[in-house]
Amino acid sequence: MMFKSVFFALEQAQFNHDIIHKVNTESRALSVAYERLLKKEKINCNFTRLVITGVKDTEVVINQGVNTANILSLSISFDEQKYVAFQTIRQRQEYLYTLFEAVFSKLTSEMEVNLKPFILETKLAANFSQKVIEEFRENNYQTTYLLKRKKITAINRFCEVWVQFTEKECNLKLRIMDKKNVMEERAIYTTDPYLVAFQFLFSNVEVTNRTIQITGARNGLLKIDL
């Protein structure tokens, strides 16, 4: 399933009517262009509509996951003073474009990892029996994705960082590889899968000769010594 529409608007409770109307008007062309960009990149997920809400003082945050309307809702920081200070429509649209780009970067680099495990929520109808649901989850609810692969020169081995989702937990795993053979594998971080859904917990993974660093984790920087 692909995104078919994109909508950007300001949070009505935080901004006055005039600025909301101006942004709605001047962001329409960008929304159309953004839809084409998403389709071109072929981001696979179980949503058809992307709703971006401009709010005060926040990073890119996923607000809403799977629902019956197949809508993915995000919040992104909007600087009202900066926006109104621009003298031309082009300048204002360029600012809006940077907001869209921030969302696009998140979607293209991290969305697939966090969304695929939760597709089952849309596959199971509400009237299915609990037994059917449990059997489906037991047979289907496990996904593993490679986040990073890098050669560690100090030990002449490849290091791979994987994330694995199951029904009960989400594990960050470390694998030390000798060519194609697994020399070592261990879990280095474990958490509740529903806590990390749509939060981009593993937003950036950096591997050095001595450490693995994950930025964007819920509690800030996660650092693991090799």
Interval 145-200: pLDDT, tens: 677 778 888 788 888 887 776 666 777 888 888 877 888 888 888 876 655 544 43
6 vs 66 pLDDT, higher one = 6
| CB-facing half-sphere around the CA of 178: CA atoms within 13 A | 4
Decide: 12 and 20 in contact? Cβ < 8 Å.
Answer: yes
End-to-end alpha carbon distance in the chain: 39
Domain layout of the chain by residue ranges: 5-112, 141-225
Integer Cα distance of 101 and 114 in angstroms? 19
Q: CA dist 30 to 72, 157, 177, Å?
A: 18, 45, 45
142-152/61-64 β-pairing: unpaired
- What predicted TM-score, i.e. pTM, was given to this entire model? 0.44
